[in-house]
Structure 1
């Protein structure tokens, strides 16, 4: 049973790894205003979020990290906001995503 869990975890890690931007500097989304997420990221629930509202901003980052392609990450995320949100954000995302991002970008590590 334990092995199944390990293989699922490594598949997830591989999937998130493929989506990583080459560097955090690629994340150049504006820091303010309304953002409408495409259906493939937010197929249910709220798709238009306000970056100036902290809860909505956190929700956007959490959703895009989990569901977004590499292009989406670069299009919807901002490096400075990601760094600012990370201390809380990393507790809201899966260990696979957290691990892959912190491995690739040491500046996210506590």
Structure 2
């Protein structure tokens, strides 16, 4: 599985993914300007995206910061790729989803925009 570890792309065995995600690594390729931070990652230095709490137990908050134009849709997916929550961004920059009905496990937050797609792993 490909991960972004301290700004560097690495391949790790599937069973090692939860440990890497637990200390702040991200699934997939490193995005430009990506940095390590508990429950947060950035698409650039001016537009801060925050996802909290991580791990989530009852609710999950997504704050798009000051960057509404690069993200048009957000989706929460299980590891099979099934979308379990989704929202069109529009003018809303903050979202809160109840997640207490979801099974315990690892989920991917996908950000869809004009140019790129980003993802963040969430452990519930």
TM class by smaller structure:
under 0.3
Structure with more of its chain in strand, by fraction:
2
Bigger RCO of structures 1 and 2 (CA < 8 A, at least 6 apart) = 1
Structure with more of its chain in helix, by fraction:
1
Q: TM-score, normalised by structure 2?
A: 0.24
Q: TM-score, normalised by structure 1?
A: 0.25
